[in-house]
Amino acid sequence: MIEKNEEYVLDIVDQGYEGEGIGKVNGTFPVFVEGALKGEKVRVLIVKTKKNFAYGKLLDIIVRSPERTRPACKISKKCGGCTLQHSSYKGQLDFKWDRVKDCVKKIGKLDPEIVKYPIGMDEPWRYRNKVQLPVGMVKGKLHIGFFEPRSHNIVDMDSCLIQDEVADQVVKLIRDWMFDYKIKPYIRDGKYDENGVVRHIMIRRGFKTNEIMVVIVTNGEKLPYADELVDVLLDNVRGLASVIQNVNSEKTNVILGRKNINLWGDDTISDYIGDFKFNISPQSFFQVNPVQTEVLYGKALEFAELTGNETVFDAYCGTGTITLFLSEKAKKVYGVEIVSGAIKNAKINAEENNVKNAEFILGESEVEIPKLINKGVKADVVVVDPPRKGCEKALLDAITKIDAKRIVYVSCDPSTLARDLQILEEQGYKTVEIQPVDMFPQTSHIENVALLVKDQRGKEK
């Protein structure tokens, strides 16, 4: 039995789902080591023990992986956002490929050979079009940055290498404005200050339109020196289109409140995915990596194999981004979503893009899709893009009763994807291919799009 505060030399034989290295004491007892890479020999200090595993702190790298690189960001170890920055980009893609294959094999009980190599980015930096930053006072110094993992300690940031460069510029301008006019932040040494004003900063950019939105999240409607803030942003931020004050007076970890006050410019900015234009408000959901989103949706459309004669169900349709892509080549698309604001945005997006063959329905997909079936609507293709927890079992049951020829499953979590693929396989579908798409370079996250077809083997018997 290993003990806390003991040191061990370990061979890192694998990596966990968050990218942490895994070594084994005596070849059997796993130790998770953050910052270690597969193939390395490392010296670690045991910092926490459980019944069946332990956590180790990386002390020294005895044998280095050829994929190890020096993190480009000086706060990467503190912030915890980019858990794979110490690996080459090829090493990151290899890890994500292995992760998806492992889930497919162990959870889905499927052949891992169906998983294709991830589609990566030519330039895996500065890809995010939105940043949300907490603002607080830490030991008398203003910090604008990111929360440390599992804490309310703010890591101060002057540049984030996965955010758009304009965000760095805006953060500096707001930092100087708060200092010059003595604007109090809402967080002070990890606790809420009811007399504080600024809670968060959000910056959004349309990659294809170059329109910039700056959102100041405040603890109340009063925002001192708001005009001065607008002036400094106008003087320095090229492409500025919108300055919004969002009011959130609740004692909550939720970043945005319900009320927006327009300080200057438009209420929304716009951007494009493919040929489709989308209006983006402070509360709008919009994929944070628009370059790879186009790749992901293009693959989903390819898997759907639409000819113009098909009816498509799009479950968990959100604001209708995939729905609009499908509408180009489908006869009719029904998008279903439980979030009322998302459905409202989806209808606006369809109208803005003059899409006439998409219908959006508010409600639970597992309830509304059977209603469509009972009305005589039959889908040839079903597309699902569920949240991280995967599809509800009731929805999977409803999908299989549709008897659609093809299912296209878009997933942000390989584990729940594999679980749901196994369920669909048991109910008469065959998983043909899974294509990972790297939407989040430098992190452990990976998106996937899977193609399933109606298994004809049962009918042939």
Residue 295: per-residue pLDDT: 97
pLDDT band at residue 275 under the 50/70/90 scheme: very high
Catalytic pick among 103, 160, 317, 412: 412
The model's pTM: 0.93
Q: Report whether pLDDT(317) > 50.
A: yes
Enclosing H/E stretch for 228: helix 226-236
Of the chain, the end-to-end C-alpha distance in Å amounts to 55
> Tens digit of pLDDT for each residue in 346-362?
999 999 999 999 999 99
Task: Check pLDDT > 80 for residue 368.
Answer: yes
24 pLDDT higher than 80? yes
Mean pLDDT across the stretch 116-138?
Answer: 96
Residues 172, 157: Cα–Cα separation, whole Å: 10
pLDDT in tens, 440-453: 999 999 999 999 99
* Alpha helices (H) in 313-450, listed in sequence order: 321-327, 340-352, 365-374, 393-402, 414-426
**Mean of per-residue pLDDT scores for the chain:** 94
In sequence order, what are the residues at sequence separation of 6 or more whose Cβ sits closer than 8 angstroms to the Cβ of residue 139?
A: 189
Instruction: Compute the distance between CA of residue 377 and CA of residue 368 in angstroms, rounded to an integer.
Output: 12
Give SS3 for 350: helix
Sort strands 240-247 and 332-337 into parallel, antiparallel or unpaired.
unpaired
pLDDT higher than 70, residue 459: no
DSSP 114: G
Residue 43 sits at φ, ψ, to 5 deg, of -105, 130
- The pLDDT of residue 457: 59
Q: Report whether pLDDT(224) > 50.
A: yes
Comparing CA positions, the residue from 271, 413, 285, 412 lying closest to residue 341 is 285
Contact 358, 335 (CB under 8 A): yes
State the Rg of the chain over Cα. Answer: 24
| Distances from the Cα of 297 to the Cα of 81, 117, 131, 163, 284, angstroms | 25, 17, 23, 22, 19
Would residue 412 show up in a list of annotated catalytic residues for this protein?
A: yes
**pLDDT at residue 461 in the model:** 37
What is the C-alpha to C-alpha distance for residues 302 and 435, in angstroms, rounded to an integer? 11
How many Å apart are CA 367 and CA 201, to the nearest integer? 38
Instruction: Give per-residue pLDDT as tens, 291-300.
Output: 999 999 999 9
Residue 213: both structure tokens together: 């939105």
State yes or no: pLDDT of 309 exceeds 50. yes
Nearest to 39 by CA among 61, 67, 13: 13
Task: Indicate the DSSP class of residue 112.
Answer: G
